[in-house]
Each structure stands twice: as structure tokens, then as C-alpha cells.
Structure 1
């Protein structure tokens, strides 16, 4: 549903927010390892997230990525998706047609419209805090069992 970059961006944001809630900054190597993403690809994603003011970056000794407590509460999942993938996921055609509308619908238009509307509600309501708190508590996870080393 989301691009690979967006999936990694969401995972990275959640991981960094969970660590930041404990006052810990994380480096690019730690982020890449935690989200199972190649480091150069992760670095590009982190550039997008920092330029979009979702993640903060501190350079130098003791530097790394973090999210302030205010941002953890305020950042919505839709901001991460918009920063990386744009709005096509909840505005575009379900089968990728350039022209799909109420007047000229694709074969999945009516059903996909309902899914898009529910997705938009979830993205708009869900905060980084909602997701990071579940990871911190162990209720949610960011890695598959086969990748925990």
C-alpha cells in the first residue's frame, strides 16, 4: 500500500520517537538496523523526515536523531506519509489509472473509495505517540521474529 521508503520512514519515526521518549538520540546505523533497511537508503529517508520537521537531527559528538516530546504528541501519521509518498495513497486510483473519478470510475473505484476514506481517517487520527507508546510497552513491534538478533 505504501512505498518501501514510506514503510521505512514510518518505522524509523516510531523507533526514534520511542527512544526519544527515554531521552535517547539514535544514530543512522541504529535506525537502519532496527528497521531492516540499507543504511544509505535510510539516510535518504531521514533527510526527508528532517526537512519535513518530523524528526530532529543533531550533528557532532552525542548527535543523532530525536523527536521532541511536543512533536511526539503532535505529529500525525499522515504527515510522514505525505512527506515521503504524497497524497496519492488516499486520493489516487486503486489500480493506478491516471483518470479515475465518480463520472468515469475504474472497476474497483467504489470499493476502493471506502478503503481510502478509512485510511485517511486512520492516518489523520494516529499520532506518533500512539504508535511509539505501543512499541515501548511491548504491545507492538517493528521487526519480524526472524530478524531479531
Structure 2
């Protein structure tokens, strides 16, 4: 597991909301929770946090819900940083506080490459990049995909 459970749900929720926003829809907490197979109360807190940090937008009222602008430049790295902070991008692979170029841990060089590759992928991947994959059913956000009305 690379991300915290909160971060996993946040990424899945962001991708789900982006897909629905691409279809011109706003979605509520219940629909997001069902769409990504997550606990509703947990996803509600995550969405409030993402909204407060301006990664997603929300409107209250009968036609309200969460959405992402189609021209959004939010990346996976933005979501990871908002939820888990920078530790994925800077921490030691063994969790040692003193690991550095001068005082490396045993896996420092190998882990640094993996960490840099992961950082590059997350930074270059916009949330909106996954809309087509989901639309074409080439990727899924649930173990057993179901149609959500």
C-alpha cells in the first residue's frame, strides 16, 4: 500500500467526480460512496476536506453536489499532497529520519529511483485524464462495476 486509505478513497472519489462532471453532472456523497465502494461517512469527510482545499467544487441545494471543472489541472500529486502530505515524495523507504545522500539507508539508491518515478507519474497525471478510460470501460473504480443511475 503506497497511499493511506484516506488518500486511496480521495483519489478514487476525485476520478469518479471528474467522470460524472465530464458528463455534465454534479454528484452527492451517497452516489460517490456507492460509485467507488467506500463508506459514506468516511467519504463525506474526505470530500469536505478536498472542497475546503479547493481541489473540487460543491454547490448546496436541490441541484447541488460535487464537481470538477472540465479544464481542471488538478493532478494525482495534488490529491496525495492534500491528504497525505509530502512524505511519499521525500521520505526514506525504510522510514528512517536520518536517511540522506550523505547517510543513506541500505535501499536508498533503489528507493530513490522508485520514489522519483512515482512522483513523476503522479505529477504528470491530471484527474481528468481518466475520464475516457472509465467511459470506455477500460478501467474501473470498483471491484464489481455497476451502473449508477
Normalising by structure 1, report the TM-score. 0.92
Q: Which runs of 5+ in 1 are unaligned?
A: none
Residue 62 in 1 paired to residue 63 in 2?
yes
Deviant stretches of 4+, over 6 Å: none
Distance in 1, Cα, partners of 2:138 & 2:78 = 23
Q: 1:106 maps to what in 2?
A: 105
* RMSD between superposed Cα atoms in Å: 1.4
Q: Which moved more, 1:118-127 or 1:99-108?
A: 99-108
Unaligned runs of 5+ in 2: none
Which is richer in helix? Answer: 1
Q: How many matched pairs?
A: 146
The alpha carbon displacement at 1:115 in A equals 0.2
Partners of 2:108 and 2:119 in 1: CA distance: 16
Q: Which residue of 2 aligns with 1:144?
A: 143
Q: Match of 1:121? A: 120
Matches within 5 A, 1:10-29: 10-29=11-30
